[in-house]
């Protein structure tokens, strides 16, 4: 008997999800967001499969993430959301990455690099996220500097919503209005971008006014709503199923305690299934005495403190045995556990949980290469 803890990545579901998104946002294009190792799903495998599906532009957060895709043989254009610093600009331009610009200094860095070809750039506007982007009082100076640049080819203009996944869309509409005003002001410039994009997963679901030329799909593409407050205009299929198997069964008497800190005590004689997965694999300690595990199609509660390598599950008197599959989240033929439900139960979001699945958890890919629908 071999017990394997793995994250099963269903690329068939990924393709079904992006096709549903594509149908909803058409004629806008989709820029798949594959940063953070494709939200823990494996950036190389996910990007290669999406490239076969016909996607032409991908997005990551860091230069190193873009280089990983290039080194794997992916030749498609890649937009880097994060700042690319002078030491990496030459290689980034040579690799045909799309660089995000936030202020005139970014243009100066490109000019100083004196690249052999123009850098393809996307300008990010800060319409209210308060994190990155050209601020309103910097806008005129920035666009003047961009117009003078010999080494920047302006391909894209974008911004990012702060509250698109909230029920109250007032602030999202304020951001959208600010972005429209930027677009109005750029209409009289000598150079203009060819790709306008703003919508993230929440906006894809609820703000069709923000689709523009392209949308950026992240968590929705991987099968989850970004929050409990969005509409369900698309019904995505979970791409990741995190699972392991029962390693050991413990028969405990009443009043026996389980795990560090003795945070759970058996109320009666019971059977405890020990699973070889823990916080080193991405199981949040917040799930101590709060999470569920799916075994043989039935939910069982996690009991005792989540440890680095193991969690414990109260299986009562049920005939659970070593080797039985145990699902932490995702879907199986015997049932499913919603990642959004799990995340909400411990006050976090699906993104954090999938990104937190560690490298020691093997990714196993399922891909039937679903034919394109005619």
What's the pLDDT at 3?
67
Same domain, 248 and 331: yes
Q: How far apart are CA 147 and CA 37, in angstroms?
A: 35
Number of separate helices (H) and strands (E) present in the chain: 11, 20
Assigned domain for 353 exists: no
Same domain, 34 and 151: yes
Q: How far apart are CA 294 and CA 301, in angstroms?
A: 9
Same domain, 79 and 134: yes
Same domain, 155 and 195: yes
CATH at 90: 3.20.20.10
Virtual torsion, Cα 356, 357, 360, 362, nearest 10 deg? -160
Active site residues: 35, 260
Please report which residue ranges of 125-255 form alpha helices under DSSP H. Answer: 139-148, 170-186, 201-206
- The alpha carbon dihedral of 229, 230, 233, 236 has a sign of negative
Assigned domain for 344 exists: no
Residues 6+ apart with CB under 8 A from 52: 369
Containing structural domain, residue 23: 11-217
Does residue 165 sit in helix, strand or coil?
Answer: coil
Assigned domain for 342 exists: no
Same domain, 208 and 292: no
- The alpha carbon dihedral of 31, 182, 119, 162 has a sign of negative
Q: What is the bridge-based pairing of β-strands 264-265 and 257-258?
A: antiparallel
Structurally, the chain folds into a number of domains equal to 2
DSSP string, 108-151: HHHHHH--SSPEEEEEEB-SS--SSSB-GGGHHHHHHHHHH-SS
Q: How far apart are CA 157 and CA 51, in angstroms?
A: 23
> Mean pLDDT, consecutive 10-residue segments, the chain of 374 residues?
86 97 98 98 98 97 98 97 96 96 94 89 97 90 90 96 97 97 88 94 98 98 96 95 96 96 96 98 97 96 98 96 96 90 95 96 87 40
Same domain, 186 and 324: no
Q: Return phi, psi of residue 97, to 5°.
A: -75, 155
What's the pLDDT at 374?
33
Assigned domain for 229 exists: no
Same domain, 129 and 248: no
- Single out the residue of 72, 354, 148 nearest to residue 238, CA to CA: 354
- Single out the residue of 85, 22, 90, 78 nearest to residue 48, CA to CA: 78
Q: How far apart are CA 156 and CA 134, in angstroms?
A: 14
Same domain, 33 and 165: yes
Q: How far apart are CA 343 and CA 172, in angstroms?
A: 24
Q: How far apart are CA 9 and CA 39, in angstroms?
A: 12
Assigned domain for 230 exists: no
Assigned domain for 258 exists: yes
DSSP string, 313-369: EEEETS---TT-EEEEEEEETTEEE-HHHHHHHTT--HHHHHHTS-TTSEEEEE---
Same domain, 250 and 292: yes
């Amino acid at each position: 008997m071999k017990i394997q803890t793995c994250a099963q990545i269903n690329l068939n579901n990924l393709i079904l999800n992006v096709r549903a998104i594509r149908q909803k946002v058409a004629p806008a294009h989709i820029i798949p967001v594959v940063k953070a190792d494709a939200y823990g799903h494996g950036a190389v495998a996910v990007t290669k499969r999406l490239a076969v599906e016909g996607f032409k532009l991908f997005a990551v957060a860091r230069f190193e993430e873009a280089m990983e895709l290039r080194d794997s043989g992916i030749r498609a254009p890649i937009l880097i959301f994060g700042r690319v610093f002078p030491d990496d600009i030459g290689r980034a331009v040579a690799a045909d990455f799309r660089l995000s610009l936030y202020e005139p200094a970014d243009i100066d860095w490109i000019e100083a690099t004196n690249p052999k070809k123009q850098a393809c750039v996307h300008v990010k506007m800060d319409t209210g996220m308060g994190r990155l982007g050209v601020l309103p009082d910097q806008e005129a100076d920035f666009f003047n500097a961009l117009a003078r640049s010999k080494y920047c080819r302006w391909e894209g203009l974008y911004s990012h919503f702060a509250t698109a996944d909230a029920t109250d869309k007032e602030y999202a509409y304020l951001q959208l209005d600010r972005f429209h005003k930027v677009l109005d002001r750029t209409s009289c410039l000598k150079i203009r971008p060819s790709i306008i994009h703003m919508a993230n997963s929440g906006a894809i679901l609820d703000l069709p006014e923000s689709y523009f030329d392209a949308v950026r799909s992240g968590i929705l593409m991987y099968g989850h709503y970004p929050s409990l407050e969005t509409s369900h205009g698309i019904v995505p299929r979970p791409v990741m199923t995190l699972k392991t198997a029962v390693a050991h069964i413990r028969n405990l008497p009443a009043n026996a305690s389980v795990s560090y800190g003795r945070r759970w005590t058996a109320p009666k004689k019971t059977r405890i299934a020990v699973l070889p997965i823990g916080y080193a694999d991405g199981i949040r300690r917040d799930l101590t005495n709060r999470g569920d595990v799916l075994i043989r199609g039935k939910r069982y509660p996690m009991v005792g403190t989540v440890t680095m390598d193991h969690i414990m599950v109260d299986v009562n008197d049920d005939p659970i045995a070593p080797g039985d599959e145990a699902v932490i989240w995702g879907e199986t033929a015997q049932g499913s556990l919603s990642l959004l439900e799990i995340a909400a139960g411990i006050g976090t979001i699906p993104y954090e949980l999938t990104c937190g699945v560690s490298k020691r958890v093997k990714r196993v890919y399922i891909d039937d290469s679903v034919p394109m629908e005619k």
